Amino acid sequence: MALERVKAQLAPRQQRSGSIDLRARMAIKNTAAIVSLHIGRLEDLRASYMPFLKHGGLFIPFAGGEEPSQNLTMKLALRDDVCLLLRLLDDREARLCLTEVAWISPPQGQDTKTAGIGLHFSRHAGEIKSHIETMLQGSFAIAGRAQTL
């Protein structure tokens, strides 16, 4: 089912260019997981964004401190490739983003750390990183708890 969403996301690109980018096809084929994420509030985006990673990234918390799928964390390991379908705030369409698992915080984590996965954007995700940083301009001055470092 998730693979069909990725194919649907890539379909407009295929119509415009005549073929799907080979790099995107290979990356999708070799990913450990496909994750669809909608971040609907600026506060949540600010709390999840990780500008300190070389190409930026997002921390995806597990709802209620539990994994969205037991299988997701069971099969993910550090440095695994993850295909992320990302829709931000009021964007009408999801954007395809190739990422890599930067860390995993299990639900049994220590202290008050939020359980979830940290995804590092690929070097080809500059457009998404710029889009996020444009949305977040000035929002870091607003007090709030980040879910990352």
Q: Where are the domains of the chain?
A: 32-141
The tens digit of pLDDT for each residue in 104-136 reads 887 765 566 778 899 999 988 889 999 999 999
Task: Check if CATH label 2.40.10.220 holds for domain 32-141.
Answer: yes
Q: What is the pLDDT of residue 19?
A: 41
* Beta strand segments in the chain, E: 33-39, 57-61, 81-88, 95-105, 116-121
The tens digit of pLDDT for each residue in 2-60 reads 455 555 555 544 444 334 455 555 556 677 788 889 999 999 999 999 999 999 999 98
Which residue type is seen at 120?
H
The pTM of the full predicted model, rounded to 2 decimals, is: 0.71
Q: Angle at CA 102, nearest 5°, toward 101 and 103?
A: 95
